[in-house]
Structure 1
């Protein structure tokens, strides 16, 4: 069985809830990036042992927050030794706005995975783009690179639209399944 790890930063609790649901769907371990942008030694060991890594981060001002960027910069030690070569990668992001330039964040996550020689998994879900579509529908935000989530700025983490949560769960399970097929 391929091992999946979700490494995430959450500023206000929304991304944490999303990561926890994704972890359940993918039977994944969670590694949290601290408010100081740090990952524990145990967390680094989990990431090194993983066959699939899913990045999770909010989108602040059209990119991941500095805490996630600090983590990304720290992965350069892994890059130098090619420690994460051929791992399977995926990513999700969350912002208060429906768009919020989340695609820019996903592309930065995809680029980080590619720099490590990883294999990025697309969302693989058709968008819910009809007049009848609601926020309860899967992929209502129309993502393709990874999973998109919208949490209104004045909403609690319990008020994240159900379609977005289901989208993340399906995507996390897809990433874990691809890793299982590639790495056994």
Structure 2
């Protein structure tokens, strides 16, 4: 059985919903999963004055925060982040920056990695963000599994790099196409990880 950690940051809930769909896909493939958020590092005065941001923090208070122990536990790690100027959010970058001890002892070598994202606007840097997240996997010596164009539904979602969705400035939740793509990505990562472990 593959052990899959889905580790994400979400400000208003879009990336959280994609993470849940990815977890559903991984579970459907028989994986043991951990759905984890990274620590909120923005000061209280920023998110406390934003009703949507504050509501999302309150609604996901029960989601555990990721730790290095979760990275060691996992056979596969799937990172999710909204796009910030074509880059991952600072919160998930902060989490990645605290993994030096794991990297130094080779604890993440030969694990499976995959990434997903959301943007407020069309062409807002989706592929760039996924590629930036994947860069950490390269440094850790991991193997990257993308959704690719392995099923017809991926031609609708249009992103072989990783699941992505445009929320139109937070007005839209992930649609059926995005949710289907997310489930496929979770399933594909779980299946390939299980196959790799059994080799």
Residues 89, 121 of structure 1: 8 Å contact kept: yes
CA offsets per residue over residues 42-79 of structure 1, 9 Å max, x none?
A: 73222211100101111111111110111111122211
- The Cα offsets for residues 154-184 of structure 1, whole Å up to 9 and x where unpaired, read as 415xx32210111011011101111000013
The answer to whether the 8 Å contact 2:38/2:65 transfers is no
Aligned counterpart, 1:155: 171
Cα RMSD, aligned residues only: 2.1
With over 3 angstroms needed to count, the CA separation of the structure-2 counterparts of 1:61 and 1:101, relative to structure 1, is same
Counterparts of 1:43 and 1:139, CA distance in 2: 35
Q: Contact between 2:114 and 2:134, CA under 8 Å: does it hold in 1?
A: yes
Question: Could you tell me whether the CA contact under 8 Å between 2:5 and 2:78 is conserved in 1?
Answer: yes
- Aligned to 1:97, the other structure's residue is in SS state coil
Moved over 6 A (4+): none
* TM-score calculated relative to the size of structure 1: 0.85
Gaps of 5+ in 2: 28-32, 43-63
Structure 1 unaligned regions, length at least 5: 129-136
Deviations 1:10-57 (A, max 9, x none): 1111111111111111022111102128xx787322221110010111
Report the structure, 1 or 2, having the larger helix content: 2
Q: Distance in 2 between matches of 1:143 and 1:42?
A: 27
Q: Whole-Å Cα distance in 2 between the matches of residues 176 and 93 of structure 1?
A: 19
**Residue of structure 1 in register with 2:90 after alignment:** 66
Q: For 2:114, what is the secondary structure of its paired residue?
A: strand
**Following TM superposition, by how much is the alpha carbon of 1:125 offset from its aligned partner in structure 2, in angstroms?**
2.0
**Cα separation, 1, equivalents of 2:65 and 2:9:** 16
Change (3 A) 1:98 1:139: farther
Counterpart of 2:108 in structure 1 is 84
For 1:132, the equivalent position in structure 2 comes to none
Q: Given the two structures, how large is their TM-score scaled by the length of structure 2? A: 0.79
CA positional deviation for 1:117? 0.3
Aligned length: 172
Give the 5 Å matches for 1:1-184.
1-27=1-27, 28-36=33-41, 43-125=67-149, 138-156=154-172, 159-184=173-198
Higher relative contact order (CA 8 A, sep 6+): 2
Residues 83 and 119, structure 2, Cα contact 8 Å, conserved in 1: yes
Query: Equivalent residue for 1:131?
Result: none
